[in-house]
């Protein structure tokens, strides 16, 4: 997700402060960064693809400057490269931008007719040119910015430098957040509090359509009538760490709490809208799904739903196996690659091979502009936002959501809209249950089993992976009916077994299997959407019953939170479990 930081002050160290601000925003995720700074009454721009370290190498920190704006870019319009990264500059204006200008194509047309030329594929360069275009008529910066707020559609937070007024830094916003922070003999703009915390904790929240004109001593805020308004100064009471975790103890917990909005964003992107750059699924007579880890687990759920409801055969394989085996695909096959990072080496290698064979490919990807997104013929983005905790939660849930959407699309089912709108609240209710007391019952155990049948088995696999990766407790998922063929020998008195049953056609069978392990002393945690009161379980976690197409999205939430609470009681490094990396770019 993009980040903005800007500085104007008497201390002449604009470059250092803005670079610092950018580093503080790194946690949001980005794929390029850039800075514009004034020196000798000229605006200079340096931008680099990749990590801020690349930018640091290109910037001369000895240059004295009293005005700078910086940006970390998370690609949306155009791939992550130097040209597309911000700041963008057109004639007298240089800007950084968070958000999306939705009517940029229309604006571009008008600008092309007025002899503007463009270097990048971004909506931001169009916005910058449009500001310049209006300024040529208005010859007044405030009037110009006020006018563009009436023309730009979508969301934006803009930091703006104009060559005609290098004594001031300007900012304006709609929907995307922007703060104006106050220092001594210097002031700042930023998209988030963490960017300014090293310098000050005092800030003003800019409202939609308000314009800020800032210099070293003054902050002026104007409303849409271009009248000066008085704003309350707020004080952030907390540390940098707490500011980026938004009050949550761990990123993993924060990300689980974001799941209701992740579901909403993902659904809103694809349902009731024209699908763009996605395949005509009905043209294929079989699908392959290739992925690693949790993404593979969503593929298994996807297979279950698509086969059951759309009656299309689906083959699922982990990428490291798919890559080296003989695969049966042809022109009627669509191969789907699922990846949060879009950079997983095994997944990417399979994608390249399938592409070489001339087979259609679809990437279900979270990181915009990532390799899997770029290499795939079609892309469906999951709208999870930047995920920082190594163990995936919200991106996994977004992947499940995309598979539900694909299935609904395949069977042309529009009947679930009421249920879909209730899902965010149901997720929220599940998040707010007490999992700590359950975790206390199992956190000291050395082995924990997960069992389920059908779709519940695939969710068990994810529950088990989550638990073992962050708590380091050995955990295995089994098909409930398969235990008696070997694994049941591991069950002893008090061995925790987390049993999942949401498919009522299989409940009786699953209960029989639970009773088999209960008879051997297992401690049963029963996760179900059914109203069963019995003595075969020790703890019951109730989840709301919804259509099977949406059920996995609810079932997974308690499993993620049990893993979290167990790891917390064991004092594990929850966000950065040992030996694991967020993006696995080696084979
Ligand atoms: C587990 C986890 C991993 C990833 C896997 C694939 O919590 O995060 O199992 O799911 O490494 O990564 P992506 O989705 O980035 O391809």
511-555 pLDDT, tens digit per residue, is: 999 999 999 999 999 999 999 988 999 999 999 999 999 999 999
The pick from 292, 394, 461 for probing ligand 1's pocket by mutation, whose C-beta has the most ligand atoms within 8 angstroms, reads 292
Final residue of a structural domain among 185, 214, 242: 242
Residue 552: per-residue pLDDT: 98
What pTM, to 2 d.p., does this model score?
A: 0.77
Give the Cα separation of 110 and 284 in Å (integer).
41
445: tokens are: 């155990």
Give the Cα separation of 105 and 102 in Å (integer).
8
The reply to whether 148 and 207 lie within a common domain is yes
Which whole number is the average pLDDT over 267-284? 80
- The β-bridge partners of 447 are 474
Residue 276: per-residue pLDDT: 65
The reply to whether 238 and 250 lie within a common domain is no
The reply to whether 201 and 255 lie within a common domain is no
Which whole number is the average pLDDT over 368-391? 89
Confidence tier at 314 by pLDDT (50, 70, 90): very high
Residue 275: per-residue pLDDT: 62
Q: Are 182 and 64 in contact (CB under 8 A)?
A: no
- Does residue 426 form part of some domain? no
> Ligand 1 centre and the CA of 399: distance in Å?
11
Final residue of a structural domain among 209, 242, 275: 242
The pick from 256, 336, 344 for probing ligand 1's pocket by mutation, whose C-beta has the most ligand atoms within 8 angstroms, reads 344
- Does residue 424 form part of some domain? no
Tens-place pLDDT, residues 192-223: 888 999 899 999 989 999 999 999 999 999 99
Residue 20: per-residue pLDDT: 94
Confidence tier at 269 by pLDDT (50, 70, 90): confident
Token pair 């319009």 is at which residue? 77
Tens-place pLDDT, residues 178-197: 999 999 999 999 998 889 99
Which whole number is the average pLDDT over 345-367? 95
Give the Cα separation of 201 and 181 in Å (integer).
8
Residue 238: per-residue pLDDT: 76
- For the question of residue 2 being annotated catalytic, the response is yes
- Does residue 421 form part of some domain? no
Read off the CATH number of the domain in which 188 is found: 3.60.20.10
Final residue of a structural domain among 414, 445, 472: 414
The reply to whether 317 and 437 lie within a common domain is no
Residue 360: per-residue pLDDT: 97
Confidence tier at 74 by pLDDT (50, 70, 90): confident
The reply to whether 552 and 486 lie within a common domain is yes
- For the question of residue 582 being annotated catalytic, the response is yes
Which whole number is the average pLDDT over 63-73? 96
Nearest alpha carbon to residue 398 among 373, 377, 376, 424: 424
User: What residues line ligand 1, using a CB cutoff of 6 Å?
Assistant: 292-295, 339-341, 344, 347, 391-392, 465, 469, 583-584
Percent of residues, the chain, with pLDDT higher than 90: 80
> 78 pLDDT exceeds 80?
no
Read off the CATH number of the domain in which 306 is found: 3.40.50.10490
> Ligand 1 centre and the CA of 245: distance in Å?
21
Show the domain range for 129: 3-242
Tens-place pLDDT, residues 440-474: 999 999 999 999 999 999 999 999 999 999 999 99
Q: Which atom of ligand 1 is nearest to the CA of 396?
A: 10
């Amino acid at each position: 997700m993009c980040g903005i930081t800007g500085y104007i002050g008497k201390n002449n160290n604009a470059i250092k402060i803005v670079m610092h601000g950018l580093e503080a925003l790194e946690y949001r995720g980005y794929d390029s960064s850039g800075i514009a700074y004034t020196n000798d009454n000229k605006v200079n721009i340096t931008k680099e693809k990749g990590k801020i370290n690349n930018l640091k190498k290109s910037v001369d920190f000895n240059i004295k400057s009293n005005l700078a704006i910086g940006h970390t870019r998370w690609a949306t319009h155009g791939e992550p490269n130097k040209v597309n990264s911000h700041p963008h500059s057109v004639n007298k204006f240089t800007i950084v931008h968070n958000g999306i200008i939705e009517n940029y194509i229309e604006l571009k047309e008008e600008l092309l007719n007025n002899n503007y030329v463009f270097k990048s594929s971004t909506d931001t360069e169009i916005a910058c040119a449009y500001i310049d275009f209006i300024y040529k008529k208005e010859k007044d910066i405030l009037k110009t910015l006020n006018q563009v707020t009436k023309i730009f559609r979508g969301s934006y937070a803009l930091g703006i430098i104009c060559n005609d007024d290098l004594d001031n830094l300007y900012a304006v916003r709609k929907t995307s957040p922007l703060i104006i922070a106050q220092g001594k003999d210097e002031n700042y703009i930023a998209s988030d509090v963490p960017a300014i915390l090293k310098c000050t904790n005092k800030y003003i929240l800019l409202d939609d359509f308000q314009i800020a004109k800032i210099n070293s001593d003054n902050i002026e805020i104007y409303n849409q009538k271009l009248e000066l308004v008085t704003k309350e100064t707020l004080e952030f009471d907390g540390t940098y760490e707490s500011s980026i975790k938004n009050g949550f103890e761990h990123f993993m917990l924060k990300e689980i709490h974001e799941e209701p909005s992740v579901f909403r964003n993902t659904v809103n992107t694809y349902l009731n809208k024209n699908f763009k750059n996605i395949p005509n699924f009905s043209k294929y007579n079989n699908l392959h799904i290739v992925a690693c880890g949790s993404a593979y687990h969503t593929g298994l759920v996807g297979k279950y739903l698509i086969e059951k409801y759309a009656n299309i055969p689906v083959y699922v394989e982990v990428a490291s196996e798919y890559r080296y085996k003989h695969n049966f695909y042809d022109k009627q096959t669509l191969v789907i690659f699922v990846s949060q990072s879009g950079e997983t080496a095994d997944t990417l290698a399979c994608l390249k091979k399938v592409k070489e064979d001339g087979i259609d490919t679809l990437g279900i990807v979270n990181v915009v502009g990532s390799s899997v997104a770029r290499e795939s013929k079609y892309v469906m983005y999951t709208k999870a936002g930047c995920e920082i905790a190594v163990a995936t939660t919200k991106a996994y849930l977004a992947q499940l959501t995309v598979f539900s959407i694909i299935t609904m699309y395949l069977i042309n089912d529009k009947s679930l809209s009421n249920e879909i709108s209730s899902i965010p609240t149901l997720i929220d209710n599940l998040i707010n249950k007490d999992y700590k007391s359950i975790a206390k019952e199992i956190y000291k155990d050395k082995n924990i089993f997960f069992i389920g049948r059908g779709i519940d088995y695939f969710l068990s696999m994810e529950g088990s992976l989550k638990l073992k990766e962050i708590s380091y407790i050995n955990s295995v998922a089994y098909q409930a009916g398969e235990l008696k063929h070997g694994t049941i020998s591991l069950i002893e008195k008090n061995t925790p077994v987390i049993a999942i049953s949401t498919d009522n056609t299989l409940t009786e069978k699953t209960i029989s299997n639970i009773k088999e392990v209960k008879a051997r002393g297992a401690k049963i945690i029963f996760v179900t959407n059914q109203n069963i009161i019995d003595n075969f379980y020790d703890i019951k976690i109730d989840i709301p019953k919804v259509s099977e197409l949406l059920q996995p999205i609810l079932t997974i939430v308690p499993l993620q939170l049990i893993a979290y609470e167990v790891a917390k009681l064991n004092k594990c490094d929850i966000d950065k479990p040992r030996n694991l990396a967020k993006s696995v770019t080696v084979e």
